[in-house]
């Protein structure tokens, strides 16, 4: 069975496969009782991962078009078409994709694909963007819940800007980051991702330019792309964003916004030097471009003092600051915040009001009590040595194979940003690792032009236990070595050609 798959189509490959098979079933080409090819053969025939085929078959099962039979495989069930009595018209299924806005259609769903794969069975996930769940301060939160009786405050609406006592607690927390703000300057959002979304919707229209570091946070790329904006990537080095290239692009494109992750950058782990921070602010002032500073990892610092945010260095109000408690505490509570100048905050409040009104009241009350009890810093001191040890283990395992995987050890954050041999195809490596029970995040998704990250990948070292982290990295090394051998150039290809 051969299915037509368009690799340029924004529709996920598994949905394309499911739709092609559905069409053949409904048209009668595949009769009742027809046995679909085994998952592995279908994957090999179409050069996709087995997981992609599994998802396609699951879609068909959900529609009642196929079923799994022991000893037979995946079998086409009786074809069911809408009944007609001659007078009623035949109603065809809605064709949704032509109706979608093109800006949204062009946004990939790579994250959901990776999360789906990572949640299968006992898959080792080095793709996660979260810390170790076993370190979540569950006991402390349970104790706080027991202390707080459920009353009208918990079940009622709260201000759009957020629960005021929590805003005060967040403002106090900012003091440990050398940032002096008030509760009135702080707004609670549903994770810092919502802050990025609000910035995109506030500043960007189709055709506008936005500056990002290259590579950068995947979901930021998706947010900016969904507005129809033009994303301009600026290369980085060991000190952060390249200011020489940035200056030229600021003059050329006159962007609406600069998006940056200066502390333990995602995905590279690089922290912007103080000289670069001051230089970036100077360029922003000169070209009058606001900066959106995303700081989810600033507190995950292993061997140094907490880094000073750009916002703390900005006396003129050019910087919009975003942060979250998802990386240190509980990602599921979705508590993030924005610190911004008053005109920007007014726009964000309006967007919050029409989006979801406010963050869950009960979550805000719980987190406020957690911060007021002084539990944040002790928890941070508890997890940092553990995350540092995991980082060191990851570095040790990867360095045992000299020259195979190249990376710069980060001083904090969650990730190793690794370059793999040029002979190793990214798609084959991802599929092979998934088949062996391990998943990572391919580097392509962190670039505005995905082809630019073909030989890079991001590894999370905080999520898994040390034992599973080591196992997953060894699986990765084994897969890279296998594909390196398979794709080594022949003697004919490496031979010296005469000059003509």
Q: List the Cα angle 294/252/264 in 5-degree steps.
A: 20
Could you please state the CATH topology (level 3) that the domain comprising 1-80 is classified under: Arc Repressor Mutant, subunit A (1.10.10)
Give the chain's end-to-end CA distance (angstroms, integer).
47
CA trace torsion 265, 267, 269, 271 (10° rounding): -20
- Domain(s) of CATH 1.10.10.10: residues in the chain: 1-80
Whether the per-residue pLDDT at 439 is higher than 60: the answer is yes
- Domain(s) of CATH 3.90.1150.10: residues in the chain: 103-134+378-486
CATH architecture of 103-134+378-486: Alpha-Beta Complex (3.90)
In sequence order, the β-bridge partners of residue 236 are: 241
Question: Which of 143-147, 381-385, 472-476 has the weakest average pLDDT?
Answer: 143-147
* pLDDT at residue 499, rounded to an integer: 40
82 or 14, which is more confident: 14
User: For the whole model, what pTM was predicted?
Assistant: 0.79
Most confidently predicted of 283-292, 305-314, 359-368: 283-292
In sequence order, the β-bridge partners of residue 230 are: 209
Confidence of residue 120 (pLDDT cuts 50, 70, 90): low
Supply the CATH classification number for the domain 136-375. 3.40.640.10
- Domain(s) of CATH 3.40.640.10: residues in the chain: 136-375
429 or 493, which is more confident: 429
**Average of per-residue pLDDT across 168-184:** 93
Whether the per-residue pLDDT at 83 is higher than 60: the answer is no
Residue 308, Cβ density class (10 Å: 0-12 exposed, 13-18 middle, ≥19 buried): middle
Whether the per-residue pLDDT at 187 is higher than 80: the answer is yes
Confidence of residue 494 (pLDDT cuts 50, 70, 90): very low
Residue-wise pLDDT for 384-414, tens only, equals: 999 999 999 999 999 999 889 999 999 999 9
Give the dihedral sign, CA 77/79/80/83: negative
288: left (phi > 0), else alpha (psi -120 to 50), else beta? left
Whether the per-residue pLDDT at 486 is higher than 60: the answer is yes
Percent of the chain whose pLDDT exceeds 90: 63
Confidence of residue 497 (pLDDT cuts 50, 70, 90): very low
Percent of the chain whose pLDDT exceeds 70: 88
* pLDDT at residue 40, rounded to an integer: 87
Rounded CA gap, 135 and 383, in Å?
7
In sequence order, the β-bridge partners of residue 187 are: 338
CA 433, distance to chain mean position in Å, is 19
Whether the per-residue pLDDT at 115 is higher than 60: the answer is no
The verdict on whether omega for the bond into residue 27 sits within 30 degrees of 0, i.e. cis, is: no
Whether the per-residue pLDDT at 138 is higher than 90: the answer is yes
Q: List the Cα angle 87/88/90 in 5-degree steps.
A: 130
In sequence order, the β-bridge partners of residue 412 are: 301
């Amino acid at each position: 069975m051969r299915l037509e798959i368009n690799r340029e189509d924004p529709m996920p490959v598994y949905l394309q496969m499911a739709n092609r098979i559905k069409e053949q079933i409904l048209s009668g080409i595949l009769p009742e009782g027809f046995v679909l090819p085994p998952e592995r053969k279908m994957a090999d025939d179409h050069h996709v991962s087995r997981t992609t085929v599994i998802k396609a078959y699951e879609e068909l099962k959900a529609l009642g078009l196929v079923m799994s039979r022991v000893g037979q495989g995946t079998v086409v069930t009786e074809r069911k078409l809408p009944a007609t009595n001659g007078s009623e018209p035949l109603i065809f299924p809605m064709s949704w994709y032509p109706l979608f806005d093109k800006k949204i259609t062009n946004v990939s769903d790579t994250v959901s694909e990776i999360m789906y794969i990572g949640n299968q069975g006992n898959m080792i996930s080095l793709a996660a963007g979260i810390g170790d769940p076993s370190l979540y301060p569950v006991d402390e939160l349970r104790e706080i819940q027991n202390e707080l009786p459920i009353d009208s405050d918990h079940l009622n609406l709260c201000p759009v800007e957020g629960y005021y006592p929590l805003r005060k607690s967040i403002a106090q927390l900012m003091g440990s980051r050398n940032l002096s703000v008030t509760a009135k300057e702080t707004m609670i959002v549903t994770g810092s991702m919502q802050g990025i979304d609000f910035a995109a919707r506030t500043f960007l229209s189709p055709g506008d330019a936005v500056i990002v570091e290259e590579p950068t946070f995947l979901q930021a790329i998706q947010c900016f792309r969904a507005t129809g904006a033009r994303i301009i990537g600026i290369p980085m080095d060991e000190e952060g964003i390249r200011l020489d290239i940035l200056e030229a692009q600021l003059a050329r494109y006159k962007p609406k916004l600069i998006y940056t992750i200066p502390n333990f950058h995602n995905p590279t782990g690089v922290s912007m030097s103080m000289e670069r921070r001051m230089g970036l602010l100077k360029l922003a002032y000169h070209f009058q471009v606001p900066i959106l500073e995303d700081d989810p990892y600033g507190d995950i610092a292993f061997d140094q003092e907490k880094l000073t945010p750009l916002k703390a260095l900005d006396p003129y109000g050019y910087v919009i600051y975003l942060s979250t408690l998802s990386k240190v505490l509980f990602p599921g509570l979705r508590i993030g915040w924005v610190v911004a100048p008053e005109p920007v905050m007014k726009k964000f409040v309006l967007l919050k009001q029409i989006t979801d009104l406010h963050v869950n009241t009960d979550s805000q009350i719980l987190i406020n009590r957690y911060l007021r009890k002084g539990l944040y810093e002790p928890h941070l001191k508890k997890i940092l040595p553990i995350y540092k040890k995991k980082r060191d283990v990851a570095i040790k395992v990867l360095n045992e194979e000299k020259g195979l995987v190249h990376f710069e050890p980060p001083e904090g954050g969650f990730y190793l940003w690794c370059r793999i041999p040029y002979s190793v195809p990214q798609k084959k490596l991802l599929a092979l690792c998934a088949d062996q029970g391990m998943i990572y995040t391919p580097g392509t998704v962190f670039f505005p032009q995905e082809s630019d990250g073909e030989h890079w990948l991001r590894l999370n070292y905080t999520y898994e236990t040390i034992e599973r982290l080591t196992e997953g990295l060894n699986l990765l090394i084994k897969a890279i070595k296998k594909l390196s051998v398979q794709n080594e150039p022949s003697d004919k290809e490496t031979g010296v050609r005469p000059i003509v």
